[in-house]
Structure 1
Amino acid sequence: MSNEPDDVINDDVINKRVGNVDGREPQLAAAGMRIRRAEARDIPQLHKLLREVLEVHHRGRPDLFNTGVTKYTDDELTGIVSNDETPVFGAFADDDETLYGYAFCVFERHADSHILTDITTLYIDDICVDEAARGRRVGTALYRHVLDFARGAGCYNVTLNVWSCNPGAQAFYERMGLKPYKVGMEQIL
């Protein structure tokens, strides 16, 4: 998200974002799991899951996605998890140490657009569930948490992109009730 004035959201909305949904304690998501904002201490586990996502995309589109790299540096991740404009939620085991999955989010607004209405959107940049935790409804709990958070922050909608080379993710998002609102297309030359 850039620092342009049309991306700035008023202080009332920002104040709602601090902490978890409506400022409450971390939610109990399912037996043996809690969802809370990710913190700097979670960065090593975030890197592990970010690499899992990259490998999924690399397998699907090796012409576009590298392998064996990290999406962010430690400093970049520190900035992301500490910024209320880019909340990151983690699904953790009851020990509050083991990360089962995450949702990286970004607030978007086009306040001065001539063609887009002035709404606040919570864009989900990335959702990942650790391969070892699949089938435990971690993704469902994370997505529902993001929806509650977005409602509490006064968002109009939640959006995300899904790569066509990841049909499992697309099926999951459809089960969660998401519907396409735009389609990206390409022609390889």
Structure 2
Amino acid sequence: MALQIREADIQDYADILQLHGQVHEIHVEHRPDLYRSAQSTLDLHYFTELLNDEKSKILVVGNDKLVAYTILKVQEAPNRPILVPRRSLYVNDICVDEACRGKGIGKLLFQKVKDYAKSVGASSLELGVLAFNERAIDFYHAMGMNVKSVRMELEIR
């Protein structure tokens, strides 16, 4: 049976929480200066707000069990004379279950995200990825994404 992609609902919280925890632990492992382990990495109140926010959308992939999800947010450029008015779709989170990676699920979900971006009139699809996450960076490049900006840091001790 083919995997279904659909909008999330409140019943998906537990599965999304489990997937979110996988991504969070990768961040804890590579950037313990920024992230720490937590019992719950996705607050239920925040999740509910996302479900009810007209500018947000959560998509899930799976049948009986979810194997991937993404959290999307439509963003408008600030109304300033120096900026071109534009709408973008920002990918807050995207995750494929670690046991299912490399099977084309990410590509399938990413195509659905691009389709959604077009449907809301976005002129671009944007996301942030930490520099250590080379696997994700390679995936995004393979999906046609390019580097837009570089955020740098200097640790002060």
TM-score range, shorter chain: over 0.9
Residue by residue over 1:147-184, the C-alpha shift from the partner in whole angstroms, topping out at 9 and shown as x without a partner, is 00110111111000110111110110000000001100
Gaps (5+ residues) in structure 2?
A: none
How far is the alpha carbon of 1:74 from its aligned partner?
1.2
How far is the alpha carbon of 1:132 from its aligned partner?
1.4
Provide the rounded CA distance (Å) in 1 between the counterparts of 2:49 and 2:59: 14
Provide the rounded CA distance (Å) in 1 between the counterparts of 2:140 and 2:43: 28
1:78 aligns with 2:48: yes
1:159 aligns with 2:126: yes
How far is the alpha carbon of 1:80 from its aligned partner?
0.8
Name the SS for the 2:141 alignment partner: helix
Gaps (5+ residues) in structure 1?
A: 1-30
What is the match of residue 30 of structure 2? 60
Given candidates 83, 99, 104, the residue that maps to 1:132 is 99
Q: What count of residue pairs does the alignment treat as equivalent?
A: 156
Show structure 1 runs of 4+ deviating over 4 A. none
What is the match of residue 147 of structure 1? 114
What is the match of residue 114 of structure 1? 81
Q: TM-score scaled by structure 2?
A: 0.94
What is the match of residue 19 of structure 1? none
Q: TM-score scaled by structure 1?
A: 0.78
| Kept in 2: contact 1:80–1:87 (CA 8 A) | yes
Provide the rounded CA distance (Å) in 1 between the counterparts of 2:104 and 2:130: 21
What is the match of residue 49 of structure 1? 19
Identity %: 29
Provide the rounded CA distance (Å) in 2 between the counterparts of 1:157 and 1:137: 23
Compute the RMSD of aligned alpha carbons: 1.3
